[in-house]
Amino acid sequence: MELLIKNGYVYDPINGVDGEKMDIAIRNGKIVKSVRGRRAKKIDASGMTVMPGGVDIHCHIAGSEVNTGRMLRPEDHAKDFERKTVLTRSGVGYSVPSTFTTGYRYSRMGYTTLMNPSMPPLEAKHTHEELNDTPMLDKASYPLLGDWWFVLEFLQKGDLEECARYVAWMMDTTKGYAIKIVNPGGLEAWGNDFYVHSIDDQVPGFCITPREIIRGLCKVNKMLNLPHTIHLHTNNLGVPGNYVTTLETMKCVEDLATDDKPVMHVTHCQFSGFKGDSWTTMESGAEEIANYVNHHNHLTLDMGQVIFTDTTTMTADGPFQYTLHELSGHKWVNHDVETETSAGIVPFHYRRKNYVNATQWSIGLELALLINDPWKIFMTTDHPNGGPFTAYPKIIAWLISKKARMATLKRTHPKAQKRSLLPSIERELSLYEIAIVTRAGQAKALGLKDKGHLGIGADADVAIYNVNPEIDLSRKYKTVRRAFTNAAYTIKDGKVVVKDGEIVRYVDGRTMWLDVKTAEPVKVNDEIKRKFKEYWTVEYENYPVTDNYLKVSNPITVKASV
């Protein structure tokens, strides 16, 4: 199967291609130098923008948490449903779409790779069952390891090598992709009726602090040579004044970086960038964070942009969700995942005319615009916490056009408008930079060698948008928004799956996971089995996700240095 995309304006930041008019040749699901066959299918992309398929580094799309969110919100589905067609199944939206609808909707926007960021190891089987049913996309999951008792015990003992072996075992057991840390220590503390307010607070029951957990797992990550860095959701998330904790967290791994490579990914940073000491005095801490990030190269961030809409917040950060439930009075689900983590779900409506919500909206954009290097900050909504992923085109318009963001800012809370930094920021991202924040940068941060670029040998995941880069994008931001809402073509593994915003072909995506080769594997001895009997509700034998559990398994072998 050969395919030739002709005459498009190509944006391929990893290979330094900036809007050059060129052809992209595809054979057998890979990008190649040229195709000879006269039978090669040709796509005329003249006047259109060609980019690698979109990559989302952080979106909650599958797992027990998402599914509980679906059950919690029938009213969310009632307002947004899709009928079945010949090719696609019926499904519902809006903020927690059903699995198939998630796949279709991402694909319609030109996305081809997703990362599901919070998988409690105990719920890994459920997560993979749902990922199997999320078509059109390649995907992977991060197991939550920051509050896992085994990790805490080994870090407390200072036995990093053994900890690394257990993390490697967990990657294989849960078929995970990266180390996810949520409110390190804070979840364990909350289970004991304590809050962790700074990274130097002691975790009750363990002789350890969040700082030691972050540093320990960061070192473990390096020992195992994992492709992605540690993926961190900071302590004190969503609390006014938390930007201090965020900066402390960023500083605490500064010395672990070598050769300018990132060692930490701070996710949905908007929720971690609040200044002030109460909700009434809450302000944006984006300037301080951006200032720090501009002077350091050891971390990457993603936005966690807020959209003014009715959405469902869900995170493993149980204490934060409890606070949100108390604040909003809305319905709430809480879950304690045995020795591993916790979870909470609360529906939330972000309102323009609410001072705090409007400030949050502003913080996300300020972060994206004030951090000069687009390779350090990526575009997400932390779907569905900041808003559903279907709002990505809106964010692209806000980033690409000052006019677009001022039009929205004008309709927000007056005090938030006055305090927002947005009027003073002239920066408008180019399509090249948009390609970085939506695909290239994310793929690079994730260590996905075959994704996020159109170089020879890369996976043939391509998105073609019907927008001519020669128009004044800043003024015609509505055209940009329309183009990114419905991709002209989405190509997955060399097959056209979407044309003009309609699904034209069904494909199953692959599930990527890490097969970490350690010199000495974890010995599953009676001690572990005893712990399973004592701590978990499942037997050891029922715990691991076996390879045949995945519909299309795509192991990535990593050689660890322990």
Partner 1 sequence: MIVLTPLREFQFPVMAECINPSVFQGKSTDEIVALSVWEGNKQKKLGDLFKVEEDKAESPNITINGDTSEVRRIGMGMKDGEIAINGNAGMHLGAKMTGGKITVHGDVGGWAGAEMKGGLIEIHGNTGDYLASPYRGSTEGMHNGKIIVHGNIGSDAAVFMHGGTIKIYGGAGQFLGFRMRNGTIYVEKDAGTRVGACMTGGKIVVAGFLEEVLPTFTIDSVKPKVKVEENESISGPFYVFLGDLAENGNGKLFVSEANNPHLSRYEKYL
**Interacting residues with partner 1 (CB under 8 A):** 72-76, 78, 330-331
Residue closer to partner 1, measured from CB, 331 or 529: 331
Residue closer to partner 1, measured from CB, 78 or 471: 78
Residue closer to partner 1, measured from CB, 73 or 268: 73
The β-bridge relationship of strands 333-337 and 341-349 is antiparallel
Residue closer to partner 1, measured from CB, 78 or 519: 78
CB of 69 to partner 1, least distance (A): 11
DSSP, res 48: S
CB of 78 to partner 1, least distance (A): 6
Angle at the Cα of 512 (from 511 to 518), degrees rounded to 5?
Answer: 140
CB 57 within 8 A of CB 392: no
Collapsing DSSP states into helix, strand and coil, what is residue 152?
helix
Beta bridge pairs of residue 82: 91
CB of 159 to partner 1, least distance (A): 48
CB of 282 to partner 1, least distance (A): 25
Output Rg (C-alpha) for the chain, integer angstroms: 22
Residue closer to partner 1, measured from CB, 330 or 495: 330
Tokens read off for 220: 């473990």
CB of 324 to partner 1, least distance (A): 15
Residue closer to partner 1, measured from CB, 74 or 527: 74
Angle at the Cα of 448 (from 443 to 449), degrees rounded to 5?
Answer: 110
The β-bridge relationship of strands 230-233 and 180-182 is parallel
Residue 236, CA distances (Å) to 39, 50, 152, 186, 272 in order: 58, 40, 19, 9, 7
CB of 73 to partner 1, least distance (A): 6
CB of 271 to partner 1, least distance (A): 24
Q: Residues 458, 464, 467, 468: is their CA dihedral positive or negative?
A: positive
CB of 76 to partner 1, least distance (A): 7
Write the single-letter amino acid at 137: L
Beta bridge pairs of residue 511: 139, 553
Ranges of H-type helices in 175-309: 186-191, 210-223, 243-252, 286-295
Give, for 445, the enclosing helix (H) or strand (E): helix 441-446
Residue closer to partner 1, measured from CB, 331 or 533: 331
What is the CB neighbour count within 10 angstroms for residue 227?
17
Residue closer to partner 1, measured from CB, 66 or 151: 66
Closest to 356 in 3D by CA, of 303, 406, 419? 419
Residue closer to partner 1, measured from CB, 42 or 353: 353
CA distance 136 to 58: 17
CB of 334 to partner 1, least distance (A): 18
Angle at the Cα of 293 (from 292 to 294), degrees rounded to 5?
Answer: 90
What is the CB neighbour count within 10 angstroms for residue 522?
18
CB of 186 to partner 1, least distance (A): 28
